[in-house]
Structure 1
């Protein structure tokens, strides 16, 4: 503790805390509004205090570049958390695809965690995914990711934004997010497409039946049954989703470090 109180060690501690705090601003699970702000700040402080004794700080000094180091640390934390948030957003996109076919697209609800409009099925998928993440100690892996980021991006180095591979990787990750969303939603969307085909055939063969009255509750019933049947497959896809999230964080840290 005496070393931490030393005035020469305060700039290093400030840089570490800025990265950790910025990481919690955008990281899934920790960035939600349901997590109190006091907890985020306090947890970032104690986590930075723990990491302070393990991070190489020999090249840090207060000069005219120190303010740019602070900005760099904030960008590193925000961008690493943001790339993970983009991957997890596949759950909301998949829920939007399913709700559009079910007829629930008009029934979006306010997500208390992010403060944005969210589809009902997307919320359901998101809750299951978060419970799965906590069940397999994924939150510990998230914290371990920000801890290992100092091995790839030291405190005294800057991000090579001129490297085009960083932009290419972000675009590829964004494309993979839609691919994962399509994989999650395609079983239910495929079943609803078959229901639409069946209703179209019925409308042509039995004109007396009002398919618009029968179609909506039938599609909702088929959707619930399909979600129940494909839930084990969904758990497997969520496991793959979080593996992709940790891999994307690791790759982005390597690119930031110039690897």
Structure 2
């Protein structure tokens, strides 16, 4: 029985899968805490099927030497991590908004381990992260992201080696971290400011009525204000993130500012 065609298929998948799998591993809603490794790998292989004509036929004869093959896979993982990081910025910002609000209302002590983000988070942080994740899938953001990943295989072919990193590479990714903080403060700021004003009012009440235990009533009052404002405000957050998800199609253009192309 000739198993050469099967070998070619396995070799093709071995070369094409690392980039897509690395991107999925970085994304908050597809990490190992949410989706077990076997399930995530299976999903990645299904999406790699579309790329099969681009990589076929790969045989043992036209593969590079083993050291170069290891470097090639490392390059694919590197590019996948870059794409996953850029796509995950909005999700980490959404979680940061909820955590920012929870810290101001005094619910930081109620933080717990969130399997979606894989880190300790707050109740509102988890709520907003799940909300944005639902919006991402229902609004077609996942299809846009897949399109970007597929396009990256054309821009940076599998058998091209490490792209040239420009001098602005580190600045670009520091700017992405700054973007997370900026979105957290700008979108969470209005609710935090109102809660801060309520704290000032409670402080004045405590000044004129020292017998009243303001600390005991402050957290329920601030929590009620935060939830009420969030109900009114969440639609604006949804609209903002919907527009940001449309920007996924420009991810490769953003990366081109710090990566010139394959060498």
> Retained in 1: the 8 A contact 2:99–2:122?
yes
* 1:152–1:253 CA contact under 8 A, matched in 2: no
User: Per the alignment, do residues 115 and 88 of structure 1 end up closer, same or farther by CA in structure 2, a change over 3 Å counting?
Assistant: closer
**Unpaired segments of 5 or more residues in structure 2?**
none
The answer for the alignment partner of 2:154 in structure 1 is: 151
Match of 2:93 in 1: 90
- Whether contact under 8 Å (2:28, 2:116) holds in the other structure is no
Between 221-230 and 29-38, report the one with greater CA deviation. 29-38
Q: Given that residues 152 and 256 in structure 1 are in contact (C-alpha distance below 8 angstroms), is that contact kept between their aligned partners in structure 2?
A: no
- In structure 2, C-alpha distance between the alignment counterparts of 1:214 and 1:46, rounded to whole Å: 54
Structure 1 residue matching 2:238: 3-state secondary structure: helix
> Post-superposition shift, 1:132?
0.9
Task: Indicate if the aligned counterparts of 1:86 and 1:177 stay in contact, CA closer than 8 A.
Answer: yes
Determine if contact 1:22/1:74 at 8 Å carries over to the other structure.
yes
State the match for 2:170 in structure 1.
Answer: 167
Distance 1:41 1:178 in 2: 32
State the alpha-carbon separation in 2 of the partners of residues 166 and 24 from structure 1. Answer: 22
1:139–1:258 distance in 2 versus 1, CA, 3 Å: same
How has the CA–CA distance of structure 1 residues 6 and 115 changed in structure 2, closer, same or farther, with 3 Å as cutoff? closer
Which ranges of structure 1 fall in alignment gaps of 5 or more residues?
none
| 2:29 alignment partner, SS class | coil
Residue 139 of structure 2 contacts residue 242 of structure 2 at CA under 8 Å; is this kept in 1? no
The number of aligned residues is 256
**Over aligned residue pairs, what C-alpha RMSD do you find?**
2.7
Alignment of 1:63-74 (within 5 A): 63=65, 64-74=67-77
CA contact (8 A) 2:144 2:248 kept: no
Paired position in structure 1 for 2:199: 196
d(CA) in 2 for partners of 1:105 and 1:247? 36
C-alpha change, 1:6 and 1:133, in structure 2 (3 Å) is same
Q: 1:224 aligned to 2:227?
A: yes
- 244 and 191 in structure 1: CA distance in 2 versus 1, 3 angstrom threshold: farther
1:23 aligns with 2:23: yes
TM-score (norm 2): 0.85
CA drift at 1:248: 4.1
Cα distance in 1, alignment partners of residues 247 and 193 from structure 2: 25
